[in-house]
A and B are shown apart, each in its own frame.
Chain A
């Protein structure tokens, strides 16, 4: 029943999924934190930009963002991210860009909710010590905020893992693309879908368990 699996590089495809998740995850964490900082900053223009970015990007379907990154950015505007002659690398980089830009909106909101859990007195005390905005945020508020948002960020990360399947729309060789190829060749819809569903559970379940445990350990008790 499973003998046809030998013809396919199942692990390789899931490895691409993992790489997409990790790179896009790191990218969105950095960019999302910057966005959160913008949204709580004292400068109105920055606040306005952060709010506009989050509200626009999170309301555009991910498929549209990913397909646009390939059809629009690469094909029409010629932005090739240093991989003009290697479509495989180009597709991968464009997907990381699209996934990161999209997920950052959700990371930003998670981090901002974490900032709201830090009592106002903490920031006031830090300012009273003479720290500037960057120091208040970086040394006092964000470290506490992150410890309380590991749970919500885990959800974002799991959603990101599953969202990587959208990259198949622009031909990135990850799990969903291999699934499509296998269904096309083997004509075994239910079995193949079940295998890939299982693969994603294997990827995301441990993430949820480990980070869930971590979030309990690290939460700031108030």
Chain B
């Protein structure tokens, strides 16, 4: 009998979480069940320069932005609980209320906007290539016949196949680290994804000087901060925080700290609500 009760409880929990997603926008209490004043923020754990978990804590541009925003919302850095939100989980994590907001190289697009709301954008990134420093690739047509590497199923990989270079050979791996291995051994010619993520890899100590960004600006990726659909109050607060971050130069410092060593030429800070197509 005990087993059955557990299954029943699990079923109820599942049903509740499904219904909870159906009627969002009614959260009054921000603090969860812990009682203490904590905020949970979703980031990536595996993208150097953007969002990376290290033995000493969390680093990256998204982390800096999220910390700044949290501070403006009234949470000190110690109150933040970081939670990993892989690409496939981002919408569900917001709908379930697992995280208060998400800053995880989250590009704003129409399909996602149907599910969640976005504050920002706070960074305009572009799909780009990371190549060996002695390599010459200056325009997108140079890619035909080249061997590219990207992460399985990612938007970047799909863009290469559909529009950018249909004649290029595309290898897909689970993580960028597996790609970068092939890039240094010569099995692939270029690694492609958002230039912010690439800059983070190129800036890592073990790869310094080995790779460079091609600077092609193949697409526009407007990074936004994802929040639960309908939470306009939070959205306004975050937008204000982002504006303030740009104004008091903390934004520039964060860009320089995280992407600087890779010679990354960033776009100026985007205006709130100004989505570059």
Residues of B contacting A: mostly: helix
A171 close to B172 (CB less than 8 A) = yes
Min distance, Cβ B154 to any Cβ of chain A, angstroms: 6
Min distance, Cβ B114 to any Cβ of chain A, angstroms: 7
A170 close to B153 (CB less than 8 A) = no
Min distance, Cβ B63 to any Cβ of chain A, angstroms: 22
Stretch at the interface among B49-57, B86-94, B212-220, B234-242: B86-94
Tell me which of B153, B155, B173 has the highest count of chain A C-beta atoms within 10 A of its own C-beta: B153
B185 contacts which of A76, A91, A168, A181 (Cβ < 8 Å)? A76
Tell me which of B88, B89, B115 has the highest count of chain A C-beta atoms within 10 A of its own C-beta: B88
Question: 1/0 per residue B110-135: CB within 8 Å of A?
Answer: 01101110000000000000000000
Stretch at the interface among B72-80, B174-182, B245-253: B174-182
Residue of B nearest to A171 (CB): B172
Stretch at the interface among A130-138, A185-193, A204-212: A185-193
Chain B residues whose CB sits within 8 angstroms of the CB of A183 once the complex forms: 87-88, 153
Question: 1/0 per residue B144-164: CB within 8 Å of A?
Answer: 000100001111011000000
A219 CB–B CB distance under 8 Å: no
Chain B, interface residues (CB within 8 Å), range: 20 to 34
Chain A residues whose CB sits within 8 angstroms of the CB of B185 once the complex forms: 75-76
Compute how far the CA of A103 lies from the CA of B152 in the bound complex, rounded to whole angstroms.
Answer: 24
Chain B residues whose CB sits within 8 angstroms of the CB of A185 once the complex forms: 109, 111, 155, 158
A34 CB–B CB distance under 8 Å: no
B187 CB–A CB distance under 8 Å: yes
B181 contacts which of A75, A91, A168, A171 (Cβ < 8 Å)? A75
A22 CB–B CB distance under 8 Å: no
Chain B residues whose CB sits within 8 angstroms of the CB of A85 once the complex forms: 169
Compute how far the CA of A171 lies from the CA of B172 in the bound complex, rounded to whole angstroms.
Answer: 4
B171 contacts which of A76, A87, A178 (Cβ < 8 Å)? A87
Compute how far the CA of A189 lies from the CA of B87 in the bound complex, rounded to whole angstroms.
Answer: 11
B181 close to A187 (CB less than 8 A) = no
Compute how far the CA of A152 lies from the CA of B95 in the bound complex, rounded to whole angstroms.
Answer: 43
Compute how far the CA of A171 lies from the CA of B153 in the bound complex, rounded to whole angstroms.
Answer: 8
Given that A171-B172, A189-B88 are known contacts, is A75 also in contact with B182, CB under 8 Å in the complex?
Answer: yes
Min distance, Cβ B99 to any Cβ of chain A, angstroms: 15
Compute how far the CA of A181 lies from the CA of B155 in the bound complex, rounded to whole angstroms.
Answer: 7
Compute how far the CA of A170 lies from the CA of B181 in the bound complex, rounded to whole angstroms.
Answer: 14
B187 close to A75 (CB less than 8 A) = yes
Q: What are 21 A-B pairs with beta-carbon distances under 8 A?
A: A67-B178, A71-B178, A75-B182, A91-B171, A168-B152, A170-B172, A170-B173, A171-B152, A171-B171, A171-B173, A177-B153, A178-B153, A180-B152, A180-B153, A184-B87, A184-B154, A184-B155, A185-B155, A186-B111, A187-B90, A189-B88
- Residues of chain B whose beta carbon lies under 8 Å from any beta carbon of chain A: 87-92, 109, 111-112, 114-116, 147, 152-155, 157-158, 169-174, 178, 181-182, 185, 187
